[in-house]
Structure 1
Amino acid sequence: MSASTKDCVAAPDAAEPLAAAIRGIDTTALDCIQVNAAVLADARHGPGTHLELGGRVCFAPRPGAHSPLPTVEQSPTNQIEQMAGPLGLDLQTGRPVRDGRALLDLLPEDGSPVYVVGDACRMPWLPYHGHQHMDHSVLLRAVDGGTRVEAVDAYDNETPYGKAEPVVCTYHLAEAVALFDGSPALPVRVRPAAPACPQVSETLARNAADAALLLAGDGPERYAAAFRDHPDQQEACSALLLETWLLARSRRLHAAWAAHHAPGSPHARTAADRAAAWDTLAGQCYLAARRVQRGRPVPPQIHTTLVELLRADARFAMESASKGPGDVMPHQTAQVRQTVVNTVADVLGATPEAVAATGDLNRLEGFASFQMVETVERLEDAYHVEFASEDLDPAVLRSVDGLVDLVLRTSAGAEVTHA
């Protein structure tokens, strides 16, 4: 069964708050379990909340559930448990439900969403439908007085069966029941909570502690060797493609986290470079998987590069923590100016060039009180300062020069003027 074309719309064009939250999310940086929890977090706490998922950079392979090959993929229940704090959500996992009606009976009458992990093979808005069984999240809520069910899914990915894109689909109740009948679905009740937002320096220190353990052992080498030496190279290359896809998305999310907290900083720039390197390896693994399917040998460099990237990530984590926040966010005037410009651009969804060329930020589309407050809060978080209330004059906050002076004056404790 599939939804008719008129019942599914691209999420970014929808006006409903959940769909509206998707517009502020780079959905290509999140996996299929994270992405819809991220939508809930941003809808509840504001744009950018989901980026807290990207602070920690981990490499913790575990034995595969149905394969001798290791995997960095976590179980949905573990991911849900770990996502709750950073996202500011109380996620209460229920028991798996196989009866579609019993699942939909859990939907609140007020239209509040329930986060559900089900089988992608049963979800007709996905290219996996009818092709591949895999855990996949979706947000379900009752609409039209409970006579219809809305499915919101922000997943974004190119798959062997076509492209998955963010959508909002609406089904008659009987249709929705049939979609989930006979297949286990994990319902998760969602309530708001206070987001756990550790200082940047604390997060970098935790990353460095993990990195020190990685560098002291041979984990990356053993991980790569498991795929290189597996007797079935078609299976090994397919698995490695998923592994590098997951690692690349996590590094892309970390780069977004760094750009959010420290826009224009050396750490943010290097994190973006690291993410790009992982994207390149994932592309190479895709080519390798296709070559092996055609009976051709595996390019040996993919395993060597895998080890090199894992170790380079660890060295980067160690260096970032050793420099400290002052080096992650330099206080030189030119760099502060770039940070201010990048922060305003990120808040507004504008280009840095447009922000830098504008004397009065009020002239930029979308710059109003809310955006002004968010800009101030981001700069305070980035520089670990609190601006004095008497310094928050609207005239100061409406110009790049004013914001630069405010940062420098507050962080240095002295008056700073521009030539």
Structure 2
Amino acid sequence: MSPTRTAPDPRPVHPADRLTDAIHGIDTTALDCMQVNAAVLADAAHGPETHLALGARLRFAPRVPGPGRLPTVEPSPIEQIRSMQQPLGLALETGPEVTDGEELLRLLPEDGSHLYAVADAHRMPWLPYHNHQHMDHSVLLRSVAGGTRVEAVDAYDNETPYGRAEPVVCVLERAEAAALFDGSPILPVTARPAPPPALDVCRTLEENARDAAELLHDDTVTRYVAAFRDHPDQIEACTALLLETWLLNRSRRLHAAWTARHLPGSPLAASTAEQADAWDALAGQCYLAVRRVQRGRPAPPQISTKLTELLSADARLAAEAAHPGTGDNMPLQPAQVRETVVDTVADILRTHRETVAAADELSRLDGFASFQMVETVERLEDTYGVQFAPGDLEPAVLRRVDGLVDLVLRTTGVQAAHQ
């Protein structure tokens, strides 16, 4: 049984709160503890699904933290903060570490915006790690109630050995908040919206392909897998590998979500989703391996083989996907394009997709007028990375689901032929 945990006064937040809305729109189970709260800030600043940009690049770049240490794909907090800025459209400025709780609270922005901070999960009572495990963890803090209280926002979502961590908004008395962080190193990071980068799906996939080509021609994967397989302390190795596969699983799920968003209906989207499922299964096997070695039993030998296979499959898929959705290799599927069109219109109208799918004329749906028609066009152009020809934007086309599907298929086919 997991130990009981308490959080300081969880607060229901008004639906108009942009951060809370952002949390509800994010699959928080596809992000790690550093990404998830930066993702909330990005979506609140720039709109839903902005955070998916963190899944655009498919990376595998293990590092060795120090002599005698096992390799890890987990970057340091500073490295991760730097790498998140540009894709999320955030200016993240790290300040010097502080160890005094009151000093930290004096850094909270006077305008009521949030401070992104990296602190010890061991000190955070809303987390199951509280009083159980030390680890770097992000949280959003802001001053409320005229400075007498502090709001903590943490969208982290994970099943842990100590219980489940779920997204939470807590309000603490100022003295209570200061005491939580007093005496422990905290990295304060001021966060401001910045212009998000222009989307270039093809360039991103080409960058992924270049990285993958290098990976397929060196021994990085072999050495990485061997480090865990051949380590003399298999409890340590399996415990570390559990974290590694957890991180890789989440990053692959996020990449699959990014691909589905920007290349809906493509074979690449289907393949990345299948890869993400395979990583999820491997993470489960690694959890089993930890439990077995803790009981003095051998780890399942197929884990090393499967890890090698999945890392190699990631690289092959990325290497072959530099130009998805174009030509004869990656054609869009009409049925999946139709699903995307229906989902897009349903989201714009805030209605059920079945209502949209059954409509002969979208103009007969409540709320579908000129503004909604324009938004539908713009969203579909963004989704598929195309520009519809002005002459094709006829009302008769834009008011029917089948018309919009034909428009997408025709435009992607024509523009692909000229690439």
Q: TM-score, normalised by structure 1?
A: 0.90
Provide closer, same or farther for how the CA distance between residues 112 and 300 of structure 1 changes in structure 2, counting only shifts above 3 A.
Answer: same
1:401 shift after superposition: 2.1
Counterpart in 2 of 1:179?
180
Q: Quote the Cα distance in structure 2 between the aligned partners of 1:371 and 1:22.
A: 25
Counterpart in 2 of 1:105?
106
Give matches, 1:152-301, under 5 Å: 152-301=153-302
Q: What secondary structure sits across from 1:140 in the alignment?
A: strand
Q: Quote the Cα distance in structure 2 between the aligned partners of 1:91 and 1:125.
A: 25
Counterpart in 2 of 1:19?
20
Counterpart in 2 of 1:417?
none
Counterpart in 2 of 1:28?
29
Q: Quote the Cα distance in structure 1 between the aligned partners of 2:147 and 2:155.
A: 23
Structure 2 unaligned segments of length 5 or more: list them: none
Q: Aligned partner of 1:8: which letter?
A: P
1:357 shift after superposition: 3.1
Listed one character per residue, the Cα deviations across residues 181-207 of structure 1 (whole Å, up to 9, x for unaligned) are: 011111111111111234111111111
Q: Aligned partner of 1:221: which letter?
A: T
Deviates more, 1:71-80 or 1:398-407: 398-407
Listed one character per residue, the Cα deviations across residues 283-302 of structure 1 (whole Å, up to 9, x for unaligned) are: 00000000111111111000
Q: Aligned partner of 2:53: which letter?
A: E
- 1:117/1:137 contact within 8 Å kept: yes
1:220 shift after superposition: 1.1
Provide closer, same or farther for how the CA distance between residues 398 and 211 of structure 1 changes in structure 2, counting only shifts above 3 A.
Answer: same
Counterpart in 2 of 1:140?
141
Q: Does 1:84 align with 2:67?
A: no
Provide closer, same or farther for how the CA distance between residues 66 and 215 of structure 1 changes in structure 2, counting only shifts above 3 A.
Answer: same
Provide closer, same or farther for how the CA distance between residues 296 and 177 of structure 1 changes in structure 2, counting only shifts above 3 A.
Answer: same
Deviates more, 1:283-292 or 1:59-68: 59-68
Deviates more, 1:322-331 or 1:35-44: 322-331
Q: Quote the Cα distance in structure 1 between the aligned partners of 2:388 and 2:155.
A: 36
Q: Quote the Cα distance in structure 2 between the aligned partners of 1:66 and 1:147.
A: 46
Provide closer, same or farther for how the CA distance between residues 361 and 53 of structure 1 changes in structure 2, counting only shifts above 3 A.
Answer: farther
Q: Quote the Cα distance in structure 2 between the aligned partners of 1:5 and 1:360.
A: 50
Q: Does 1:150 align with 2:148?
A: no
- 2:8/2:172 contact within 8 Å kept: no
Deviates more, 1:390-399 or 1:218-227: 390-399
Provide closer, same or farther for how the CA distance between residues 243 and 162 of structure 1 changes in structure 2, counting only shifts above 3 A.
Answer: same
- 2:286/2:303 contact within 8 Å kept: yes
Q: What secondary structure sits across from 1:213 in the alignment?
A: helix
Listed one character per residue, the Cα deviations across residues 341-395 of structure 1 (whole Å, up to 9, x for unaligned) are: 3544676787765543344557879978887555433321343322356765677
Q: Quote the Cα distance in structure 1 between the aligned partners of 2:225 and 2:351.
A: 41
- 1:284/1:302 contact within 8 Å kept: yes
Q: Quote the Cα distance in structure 1 between the aligned partners of 2:371 and 2:30.
A: 26
Counterpart in 1 of 2:9?
7
Q: What secondary structure sits across from 2:139 in the alignment?
A: strand
- 1:115/1:188 contact within 8 Å kept: yes
Provide closer, same or farther for how the CA distance between residues 212 and 133 of structure 1 changes in structure 2, counting only shifts above 3 A.
Answer: same
Q: What secondary structure sits across from 1:297 in the alignment?
A: coil
Give matches, 1:50-61, under 5 Å: 50-61=51-62
Provide closer, same or farther for how the CA distance between residues 182 and 22 of structure 1 changes in structure 2, counting only shifts above 3 A.
Answer: same
- 2:116/2:189 contact within 8 Å kept: yes
% identical aligned pairs? 68
- 1:224/1:306 contact within 8 Å kept: yes
- 1:52/1:197 contact within 8 Å kept: no
Provide closer, same or farther for how the CA distance between residues 7 and 300 of structure 1 changes in structure 2, counting only shifts above 3 A.
Answer: same
- 2:266/2:324 contact within 8 Å kept: no
- 1:156/1:164 contact within 8 Å kept: yes
Q: Does 1:131 align with 2:124?
A: no
Provide closer, same or farther for how the CA distance between residues 360 and 299 of structure 1 changes in structure 2, counting only shifts above 3 A.
Answer: same
Q: Quote the Cα distance in structure 2 between the aligned partners of 1:56 and 1:301.
A: 28
Structure 1 unaligned segments of length 5 or more: list them: 415-419
- 1:41/1:50 contact within 8 Å kept: yes
Q: Quote the Cα distance in structure 2 between the aligned partners of 1:7 and 1:267.
A: 45
Provide closer, same or farther for how the CA distance between residues 6 and 103 of structure 1 changes in structure 2, counting only shifts above 3 A.
Answer: closer
Deviates more, 1:349-358 or 1:108-117: 349-358
1:406 shift after superposition: 3.2
- 1:31/1:249 contact within 8 Å kept: yes
Q: What secondary structure sits across from 2:45 in the alignment?
A: helix
Task: Name the Cα RMSD after superposition.
Answer: 2.9
Q: Quote the Cα distance in structure 1 between the aligned partners of 2:152 and 2:366.
A: 32
Listed one character per residue, the Cα deviations across residues 14-39 of structure 1 (whole Å, up to 9, x for unaligned) are: 54211111011000000000000000
Provide closer, same or farther for how the CA distance between residues 344 and 250 of structure 1 changes in structure 2, counting only shifts above 3 A.
Answer: farther
Provide closer, same or farther for how the CA distance between residues 328 and 360 of structure 1 changes in structure 2, counting only shifts above 3 A.
Answer: farther
Q: Aligned partner of 1:7: which letter?
A: D
Q: What secondary structure sits across from 2:29 in the alignment?
A: helix
Provide closer, same or farther for how the CA distance between residues 316 and 331 of structure 1 changes in structure 2, counting only shifts above 3 A.
Answer: closer
1:109 shift after superposition: 2.1
- 2:325/2:332 contact within 8 Å kept: no
Provide closer, same or farther for how the CA distance between residues 276 and 192 of structure 1 changes in structure 2, counting only shifts above 3 A.
Answer: same
Q: How many residues align?
A: 412
Counterpart in 1 of 2:48?
47
Provide closer, same or farther for how the CA distance between residues 309 and 367 of structure 1 changes in structure 2, counting only shifts above 3 A.
Answer: farther
- 1:200/1:325 contact within 8 Å kept: no
Q: Aligned partner of 1:220: which letter?
A: V
Q: Quote the Cα distance in structure 1 between the aligned partners of 2:366 and 2:27.
A: 21
